[in-house]
Amino acid sequence: MIGLLGGGQLGRMMIQAAHRLGERVTVLDPDGQGPAAQIADVVITRNYDDKKGLDQLARTCTSFTTEFENVPAESLRHLARFGATRPDGRCVAVAQDRIDEKRFIAACGVDVVPHAVITRLEDFDDLPASLFPGILKSARLGYDGKGQQKVHSVTEARSTWSAMGSVACVLEKRVALEREISVIVARDLHGEMAVFPVGENIHRNGILAVTRVPAAIGDDLAEHARQAACRIAQTMEYVGVLCVEFFVLSGGRLMANEMAPRPHNSGHHSIESCATSQFEQQVRICVQKPLGSTALTSPAVMLNVLGDAWFKSSDQPSEPDWQAVRAQPDVALHLYGKSDPRPGRKMAHVTCLGSTLPQALGRARNVADILGLDVGDGLA
Ligand code: ADP
Ligand code: MG
């Protein structure tokens, strides 16, 4: 039995992959009705740091994994005494703190965005002017653009920092993005690595809206990004599925933005478009089966469906027209089983395949029209 900390959609898709391999999963989640709990073999409805819950998990499972970023690293460290944690608490802790994360990535020889660490008021003295306009990001607990504020001057940065509760932050230079890409790498206990094709990500309001695969970048840049992700995984002695997000600047300059110690939203397409999905790799690593091939079997476009799609015609939520989506060719609809649609909440995703990327994009445009999705120029 695999023990999973967390109950969201990533966990749900991991369980679906586990079931296809004949494996069983116990979910520990305070919400016993969430996306993962709905299809788990066993559900423990307790907090992630609840001693009784962790003990039950420890007694019944041989390996442990997680599906959300802010799982208490301490719980993973505790579980490590009873079985294999994939990934372990040490790696999760690094990825949970933007200060440690940037320090670690830079130590791997991978460029990061110019930034300063802010932990005290004095840290605002002598900040280089080149960091402005910038973005002040809380070091911990940020996701989907939360815990970040644009700042244009030292004075504004100081007052924004106070308003954010004077918590530890990084102040990043706002760089001109030519595009955003991500690399997902699976690394097993023996150090074998399987790297997924580079995805190109389009965000709206700090939330991923579209992933296109393959990314429209040259082979050299793609290889550079894949090698950087592998170097990070290897240096960390990471065991599990790791996503590294990168910014591409003009001239093809690459900078790592952040990493996620788990399957990632930008890898959802792999369920349909790759020989082995990111979720299956995670299961394979947990049960010590060899990694599968990450070969791209079809170009793909993934569309995130946020709760906004429920509020197109009125203030009262109404179910989007799934039948019309399903009627499209080569389109896979993944509903996460969340009962409460809210604007900005990830409710579902749709993956559109095509024999070429333009064909997949055409299908994605039809789906985005049906659902009224805000994709910016993500499908151009
Ligand atoms: P989160 O943890 O919310 O994903 P990120 O640091 O990845 O936080 O920021 C979310 C998005 O905001 C990025 O994908 C990118 O589009 C934009 N962004 C973040 N930092 C910068 C930056 N330094 N310069 C330009 N855009 C940025
Ligand atoms: Mg991000």
Say which ligand is closest to the CA of 69: 1
User: At 341, is the pLDDT very low, low, confident or very high (cuts 50, 70, 90)?
Assistant: very high
Q: Which residues contact 63 (CB under 8 A, 6 or more apart)?
A: 2, 3, 83, 84, 85, 86, 286, 287
Q: What pLDDT score does 376 carry?
A: 93
Atom of ligand 1 nearest to the CA of 177: 25
145: which 2 tokens?
Answer: 């653009």
Assigned domain for 290 exists: yes
- H or E element, residue 145: none
Residue 15 makes CB contacts below 8 A (sequence gap 6+) with 4, 25, 27, 36, 39, 40
Atom of ligand 1 nearest to the CA of 208: 14
- The pLDDT, as a whole number, for residue 258 is 95
Report d(CA 168, CA 105) in Å as an integer: 19
For ligand 1, say whether the CB of 378 is within 6 Å of any of its atoms. Answer: no
| pLDDT given for residue 19 in this prediction | 98
Instruction: Produce one character per residue of 178-216: b if its CB has 16 or more CB atoms within 10 Å, e if not.
Output: ebbbbbbbbbbeeeebbbbbbbbbbbbeebbbbbbbbbe
pLDDT band at residue 371 using 50, 70 and 90 as cut-offs: very high
Residue 101 lies in a domain: no
State percent of the chain over pLDDT 90: 94
Distance 359 CA to ligand 2 centre (A): 28
The arithmetic mean of pLDDT across residues 349-366, rounded, is 98
**CB 144 less than 6 A from any atom of ligand 1:** yes
Q: Per mean pLDDT, which of 74-83, 146-155, 240-249 is the most reliable?
A: 240-249
Which domain, by its residues, includes 31?
2-85
- Asked whether residue 62 falls in the same domain as residue 198, the answer is no
Q: What percent of the chain has pLDDT over 70?
A: 99
| End position of a domain, from candidates 85, 106, 136 | 85
Backbone angles phi, psi at 53, to 5 degrees: -60, -45
**Looking at residue 136, which CATH number applies to its domain?**
3.30.1490.20
- In short, whether 113's Cβ falls inside 6 Å of ligand 1 is yes
Same domain membership, residue 204 and residue 297: yes
The rounded distance, in Å, linking the Cα atoms of 317 and 375 is 21
Closest residue by Cα to residue 370 from 333, 328, 321:
321
Q: Please name the residues in contact with 336: beta carbons below 8 A apart, sequence gap of 6 or more.
A: 8, 9, 12, 35, 346, 347, 348
Query: Ligand 1 pocket, 34 CB below 6 A?
Result: no
* Residue 320, amino acid: P
Strands 331-335 and 84-85: unpaired
The confidence score (pLDDT) of residue 147 equals 86
Q: Say yes or no: CB of residue 41 within 6 Å of ligand 1.
A: no
Q: Is omega for the bond preceding 214 within 30 degrees of 0, making it cis?
A: yes
Q: What are the structure tokens assigned to 207, written together?
A: 């939330």
Q: What is the pLDDT of residues 130-171, one digit of tens each?
A: 999 999 999 998 776 678 999 999 999 999 999 999 999 999
Q: How many C-beta atoms lie closer than 10 Å to residue 319's C-beta?
A: 8
CATH number of domain containing 187: 3.30.470.20
pLDDT exceeds cutoff 70 at 57: yes
Report the separation in Å between the CA atom of 234 and the middle of ligand 2, taken as the mean of its atom positions: 21
- 264 and 95 in contact (C-beta within 8 Å)? no
Check whether 307 has a pLDDT greater than 70.
yes
The finding on whether 179 has its CB within 6 A of some atom of ligand 1 is no
| Mean of per-residue pLDDT scores for the chain | 96
CATH number of the CATH domain containing 12: 3.40.50.20
Instruction: Report yes or no on 100 lying in a domain.
Output: no
Q: Is the CB of 177 under 6 A from ligand 1?
A: yes
Give the model confidence (pLDDT) of 85-122 as tens digits. 999 999 999 999 999 999 999 999 999 999 999 999 99
- Confirm whether 358 is domain-assigned: yes
Instruction: For residue 180, give the ligand nearest its CA.
Output: 1
pLDDT for the residue 73:
86
158 and 184 inside one domain: no
Q: In this predicted structure, what is the pLDDT of residue 145?
A: 67
Beta-carbon neighbour count of residue 163 at 10 Å?
A: 10
Region 118-129: mean pLDDT is 93
Distance 38 CA to ligand 2 centre (A): 27
Say yes or no: 64 and 169 in one domain: no
Closest CA to 259 of 245, 238, 272: 245
Do 161 and 208 lie in a common domain? no
Which residues 6+ apart lie within 8 Å of 313 measured at CB? Answer: none
Determine the average pLDDT of the residues in 215-227. 97
Q: In the 8-state DSSP scheme, what is residue 335?
A: E
Regarding the beta carbon of 174 and ligand 1, being less than 6 Å apart is answered yes
